[in-house]
Structure 1
Amino acid sequence: MDDLTPVPAEPADATAVRALVRRAYAPYVPRMGQEPVPMNADYERAIEDGDVYLVREGGELVALVVTREEGDHLLVENIAVAPGWQGRGIGTGILAWAEATATSLRYDEVRLYTHETMVENIAFYRRHGFEITRVAAEDEFRRVHLRKVCTTR
């Protein structure tokens, strides 16, 4: 595999970003009874804001991460790995990148959230040192909020 470090997305990537997110999140729609928020996000705007980073292998978009600086922490809004690339350590690499990015921005923690029915994601984050901080109903979604204190300082 090539270097799988996320790099900033360009405006021309918006269509591919949206397509990857839709494929990655499609299995959750029946479980949730609705489309997860990332499936309908404004990726043009997020790319314009500098919040979207891509992972490519051999020129193919295989994963992405959307982050946002939130005052006292780095928020990971979305991690999506193309279905054919899941289980190869890309998500783990993205989490390590997010922690290193948070540290470089002088934040002490990374936060994220996921829908409570995405139990595989919750288990994945917990295996990588994230702790659940709360479960809350927000809009029409039940979200599990997690955080990880940066250890790379």
Structure 2
Amino acid sequence: MIRPATPADQSAIQACAEQAYARYIPLIGRKPAPMLADYASQIATGWVHVALDEQASLQGFIVFYPHDNHMLLENVAVLPSAAGRGIGKALINLCESRARQLGLNAVQLYTNERMTDNLGLYPRLGYVEVARRSEDGFNRVYFEKKLGPTR
């Protein structure tokens, strides 16, 4: 089940981010941006959705919001213990569906260039690399997926 996050989810979301991104610290040389995010304020704005298992335990989360004429997918993370079950894809599908509902024509996202798994994953989901740049001390790769009408 995927639902909007509530303040009660904050500690589980933070723990998920810590677990999902910890392996990148040695590659990047510091904590990735999602480990430093202010999840309390993102939850308060309604930007965060959580994926739960049958026991209502958090398995992953996504942060997205409308920005200009597209949806910005800021963060998607899945617990390492839940990886490979389609949770991340389901969360991304939710983001794309909400973008279509709002009449937005694309989803944009970025990832760190050292997160090489992501550099292969997003193109398989229909995302195209559109830019590379350094921001906030991170070398980021930007992707975009153009959205057609809902089928």
TM class, shorter-chain normalised? over 0.9
- Residues 131-150 of structure 1 correspond to what in structure 2 (within 5 A)? 131-150=128-147
CA offset digits 1:78-132 (Å, max 9, x no partner): 0000001111111111222111110001100000000000010111001010000
- 2:82 matches 1:85: yes
Q: Which letter maps to 2:148?
A: T
Q: Which residue in the other structure is 2:71 paired with?
A: 74
TM-score, with length taken from structure 1: 0.94
CA distance in 1, matches of 2:36, 2:134: 19
Q: Which letter maps to 2:127?
A: F
Q: Is the 8 A contact 2:4 2:46 kept in 1?
A: yes
Count of residues in correspondence between the two structures: 149
- Residues 4-153 of structure 1 correspond to what in structure 2 (within 5 A)? 4=1, 6-58=2-54, 59-153=56-150
CA offset digits 1:42-83 (Å, max 9, x no partner): 110000011000000021100100001102100000000000
> Which runs of 5 or more residues in structure 1 are unaligned?
none
Q: Is the 8 A contact 1:100 1:152 kept in 2?
A: no
CA offset digits 1:13-53 (Å, max 9, x no partner): 11111011100001111111110011011110000011000
CA distance in 1, matches of 2:25, 2:31: 5
* Identity value in percent: 37
Q: CA deviation at 1:152?
A: 3.9
Moved over 3 A (4+): none
Q: Is the 8 A contact 2:62 2:92 kept in 1?
A: no
TM-score, with length taken from structure 2: 0.95
